[in-house]
Amino acid sequence: MAVLEHQRATIEINGLKFTYPGIDGHPPPGSKPLIDDFSLTLNSGDRCLLVGSNGAGKTTILKILGGKHLVEPHMVQVLGRSAFHDTALTSSGDLCYLGGEWRRDVAFAGFEVPIQMDVSAEKMIFGVAGIDPQRRAELIKVLDIDLSWRMHKVSDGQRRRVQICMGLLKPFKVLLLDEITVDLDVLARADLLKFLKNECDDRGATIIYATHIFDGLEHWPTHIVYVVHGKLQLAMPMAKVLQISNLSLMRTVENWLRKERDEERRRRKERKASGLPEFSQQIDGGRVTGDPARTAVRAMNNGWAAGRLHSTVAGEENFVLSSNRVMRQ
Ligand SMILES: Nc1ncnc2c1ncn2[C@@H]1O[C@H](COP(=O)(O)OP(=O)(O)OP(=O)(O)O)[C@@H](O)[C@H]1O
């Protein structure tokens, strides 16, 4: 188990295992977990960067931590409680999840509020009760929000600023950020990162930030966690990362991802050489690409499986794909 030492444990993940349910609401029989044997402890004050290639499982892990997916309570504890079962964690604002799926709504303190109707930024932000006026004013300043903005007329980045502001109004203890800064301009992003750093240094908050954008992050994280195919590949304090790599943060992560991709390509080549089918093969005229689980689900959605789906498995399982069925070997 990777233990990142600091002060008080705020996030404890112990042997986490997770499989997305199939269409019947249950994990497909014989399926391999997407997240497997994942353990990590983070403490008060930690700012953890969660990195990994597309599809590695970062969003899934953050959603589990945010109480959006059910797992056994002993596998994930946030502030000593089960995020899924203890809804007070999010409604109190102690646990806050800001995810990329906030296209149309802003999830605040457990509630979803439409954000594209004709309403002013002021009404949205001041409509949240029980907020410290000083904190609210600071966030409005940090995110450079014009309170007269009409939410249905603003740009994506401006709308995103209001969303982030609302999400951060309550002084969270644990914050889960799933790449929410993509729409922000350079200044807004830099100021937000500085604000978040202070939240950890001054109040002992814990933040996990999943991102592919490393610009301006060089001195931001205290820890880095690298996940590959749902498995914890590496978890260490940034100081140690800098000790073993004399490259920039971006170059370091780029090297890890390049190595992972080359390894994946080598495995695919071996699989091809062994005569097993490629997932990118043509099926019924439709090009099927991507990982086995997606392929199987897509095949099923297109009626190719027609009730004869044997299993959908993520990872390195082998499948036989034919015009009317997807079968694991
Ligand atoms: N609702 C779902 N049902 C089934 N499989 C899913 C679902 N959501 C995600 N997956 C699969 O889980 C895997 C991990 O997805 P996830 O979104 O956690 O990855 P990620 O690391 O956040 O990727 P990215 O960097 O692209 O955002 C992917 O293979 C994806 O196809």
Spatial CA neighbour of 209 closest among 102, 52, 8, 83: 52
SS3 25: coil
Strand partners, 221: none
- Of 16, 50, 51, 59, which is best to mutate to test ligand 1, by the most ligand atoms within 8 angstroms of its C-beta? 59
N residues, the chain: 329
**Tens-digit pLDDT string for the chain (329 aa):** 444 444 689 999 999 999 988 777 777 777 788 999 899 999 999 999 999 999 999 999 999 999 989 899 999 999 999 989 998 999 899 999 998 665 445 544 444 555 566 788 999 999 888 899 999 999 999 999 999 998 888 888 898 899 999 999 999 999 999 988 888 889 999 999 999 999 999 999 999 999 999 888 988 999 999 999 999 999 999 989 888 888 888 899 999 999 999 998 998 888 777 765 444 333 333 334 445 556 555 555 554 433 333 333 333 344 444 444 444 43
Of ligand 1's listed atoms, the one at least distance from the Cα of 210 is: 22
- Of 17, 18, 19, 58, which is best to mutate to test ligand 1, by the most ligand atoms within 8 angstroms of its C-beta? 58
Packing angle, helices 186-203 and 156-168, rounded to 10: 10
User: 280 — alpha (psi -120 to 50), left (phi > 0) or beta?
Assistant: alpha
Spatial CA neighbour of 50 closest among 34, 61, 41: 61
Q: Are 116 and 152 in contact (CB under 8 A)?
A: yes
For residue 177, how many C-alpha atoms fall within 13 Å in the half-sphere facing its CB? 29
Residue 74 CA: distances (Å) to CA of 12, 92, 191: 9, 22, 37
Residue 310 CA: distances (Å) to CA of 158, 293, 327: 47, 12, 5
Of ligand 1's listed atoms, the one at least distance from the Cα of 56 is: 21
Task: Determine the Cα angle at 23 with ends 21 and 26, to 5°.
Answer: 35
**Has the ipTM of the complex gone over 0.95?**
yes
SS3 266: helix
Torsion, Cα of 111, 55, 50, 192 (10° steps):
-50
- pLDDT, tens digit, 9 for 90 and up, residues 144-188: 999 999 888 888 889 889 999 999 999 999 999 998 888 888 999
- pTM, rounded to two decimals: 0.79
Strand partners, 178: 210
Ligand 1 proximal residues by C-beta, below 6 Å: 20, 34, 52, 54-60, 291, 293-294, 314
